[in-house]
Amino acid sequence: MLLYTVSRGDTLQSISTRFDVSVAHIRCNNQLAGDTLATGQVLVIRYGPLYTVREGDTLFSVATRFQTSIEVLLRLNPQIVSPDVILPGSELVLYKPTKREPLSVNAYGYTHVSCGNLSDALPHLSYFSIFSYDARPDGSLAPIRDQWLIQTAMLAGVTPRMVVTNIDAVTGNFSSELASILLNDRTVQDKLMDNVLHIVKSRCYAGVDIDFEYVYPRDRQAFNSFLQRMSVLAAKCGFTLSTAVAAKTGDSDSDILSGGHDYAAHGRYCDQVILMTYEWGYAYGEAQAVAPLNKVAEVLDYATSVIPPKKILMGIPAYGYDWPVPQSSATPAKAISAMAARDLAIRKGARIQFDRLAQAPFFTYTDDQSAPRIVWFEDAASIQSKLELARKYKLGGVSYWALNFAFPENWAALNSMATVRGC
């Protein structure tokens, strides 16, 4: 696989000719609706590692065509006697195949995820975490229609996970007060655990993911004790236990977002810890990358110092945000899928740029009311960088939020760099 960045004047036909890959294959691999491209857009080009030399080819022309160098080609093809002579009909190795690392791959998805997004993703998943069973103050769980998703996942050989949250029924937001009740009232907690176990058994879930967010820092130890109790239940009843934690770079216990999450304890009691390494760029915040690579690396520096790396799944967003310019707290950014962002850039004739520090693409455009806007999102190049980071830190895997956002290029990039570890 090669990632090709579209230059001004490129067309699907010219790219097809350059790489000797059909237009239909390029369109299919990138799920392109038409023939128009955006300057700076990253395309996934799938081709074999061998190239058959044609009449008129030179080592320079081959290197230029495939975005490599003469030096690399000579190193990969020791059979070449002279760099000035390559014979038509001979085969050249174009690149050293990337070692595909075994990774556990989780993805969250709401119950209204589209069949198309689900079918695209399932061949590349170890776990599908169905969002969500929202706990209530009495320990009951709000019902969801998840049976078809469980069955679809199991038919694909993917482990279905039950996600339990502290989302309030009235506001629809994560509630610190609700979490406090669930973590401190033993009677309520017993009922919650009984209800979780009933659903695991009756619906054939193989794992439970605890996604309690905005836990009061004062409830940190109570959360640890709850996870310890859940780990005993999971071991006794034969299901896996994971937890989702807010991103942080140290053991701060005062921040409302992350103070209640004790990384070391979560790593001790859970089979996997999912780091929510996204939302640096968020709806009401500054326009920036949702998951800038340099910031994600800082979180991993800390996380891997207190959690066994093989237990960690690094969060990856399948979405971006579209902000007004100038920004205003009265007008939040709009969440946008990676695919929708790319198509918006094409439709608006925008030039996609790539931030080297954040390793993320962005572009500006003018909306239908002539107002300027800026979009940060993810593409195959940014995903490749994130997967390389997971490899560098020797993590257990990655976790996507969320399948409700279409992102076909991601699966091609993932498939080229990793093999999905079985559950």
7-48 pLDDT, tens digit per residue, is: 999 999 999 888 878 898 899 889 998 899 999 999 998 766
Question: Do 83 and 105 have their domain in common?
Answer: no
Among 66-70, 87-91, 93-97, the range scoring the smallest mean pLDDT is: 93-97
Q: What's the pLDDT at 47? A: 63
Q: What is the CATH number of the domain that holds 130?
A: 3.20.20.80
Question: Looking at per-residue confidence, does 415 or 386 come out higher?
Answer: 386
Looking at 93, 119, 141, the residue that finishes a domain is: 93
Question: Do 224 and 151 have their domain in common?
Answer: yes
Q: Is 71 exposed, middle or buried (0-12, 13-18, 19+ CB in 10 A)?
A: exposed
Can you tell me the distance from the alpha carbon of 85 to that of 167, in angstroms, rounded to the nearest whole number?
A: 67
Question: Do 290 and 349 have their domain in common?
Answer: yes
- Please say if the pLDDT value at position 337 is more than 80: yes
Tell me the percentage of the chain whose pLDDT exceeds 70: 99
Q: Is 324 exposed, middle or buried (0-12, 13-18, 19+ CB in 10 A)?
A: middle
Q: Name the average pLDDT for the chain.
A: 94
Question: Do 67 and 150 have their domain in common?
Answer: no
Please write the tens of the pLDDT for every residue from 190-221.
999 999 999 999 999 999 999 999 999 999 99
Question: Which stretches does DSSP call E strand in 190-338?
Answer: 207-211, 240-246, 272-276, 312-317, 319-324, 334-337
Question: Looking at per-residue confidence, does 326 or 329 come out higher?
Answer: 326
- Please say if the pLDDT value at position 306 is more than 90: yes
Does residue 238 contact residue 180 with C-beta atoms inside 8 Å? no
Looking at 93, 122, 155, the residue that finishes a domain is: 93
Is 91 considered catalytic here?
A: no
Using the 8-state DSSP alphabet, how is residue 96 labeled?
P
- Please say if the pLDDT value at position 421 is more than 70: yes
Half-sphere exposure of 37 (CA within 13 A, CB side): 21
Give the Cβ contact number of residue 116 at 10 Å: 11
Q: Tell which residue, 359, 323, 365, 326, has the closest CA to residue 344.
A: 365
Tell me the percentage of the chain whose pLDDT exceeds 90: 80
- Please say if the pLDDT value at position 255 is more than 80: yes
Helix (H, G, I), strand (E, B) or coil at 332: coil
Mean local confidence (pLDDT), 375-404 = 97
Q: What's the pLDDT at 60? A: 94
Question: Do 73 and 140 have their domain in common?
Answer: no
Question: Do 250 and 107 have their domain in common?
Answer: yes
Question: Do 110 and 49 have their domain in common?
Answer: no
Can you tell me the distance from the alpha carbon of 299 to that of 295, in angstroms, rounded to the nearest whole number?
A: 7
Domain range for 210 is 101-420
Which helix (H) or strand (E) segment holds residue 347: the answer is helix 338-348
Strand 319-324 and strand 334-337: the pairing is antiparallel
- Please say if the pLDDT value at position 97 is more than 80: no
Q: What is the CATH number of the domain that holds 60?
A: 3.10.350.10
- Please say if the pLDDT value at position 343 is more than 80: yes
Confidence of residue 321 (pLDDT cuts 50, 70, 90): very high
Question: Do 360 and 382 have their domain in common?
Answer: yes
Among 156-170, 311-325, 381-395, 404-418, the range scoring the smallest mean pLDDT is: 404-418
Please write the tens of the pLDDT for every residue from 103-154.
999 999 999 999 999 999 999 999 999 999 999 999 999 999 999 999 999 9
Question: Do 52 and 110 have their domain in common?
Answer: no
Q: What's the pLDDT at 72? A: 87
The count of domains in the chain is 2
Looking at 93, 123, 150, the residue that finishes a domain is: 93
Residue type, 47: Y
Give the pTM: 0.90
- Please say if the pLDDT value at position 187 is more than 80: yes
Confidence of residue 367 (pLDDT cuts 50, 70, 90): very high
Confidence of residue 85 (pLDDT cuts 50, 70, 90): confident
Instruction: Give the active site residue among 91, 177, 213, 286.
Output: 213
Question: Do 27 and 154 have their domain in common?
Answer: no
Question: Do 174 and 238 have their domain in common?
Answer: yes
How many separate helices (H) and strands (E) can be counted in the chain? Answer: 14, 18
Q: What's the pLDDT at 67? A: 82
Question: Do 121 and 160 have their domain in common?
Answer: yes
First to last CA, the chain: 27
Q: What's the pLDDT at 45? A: 86
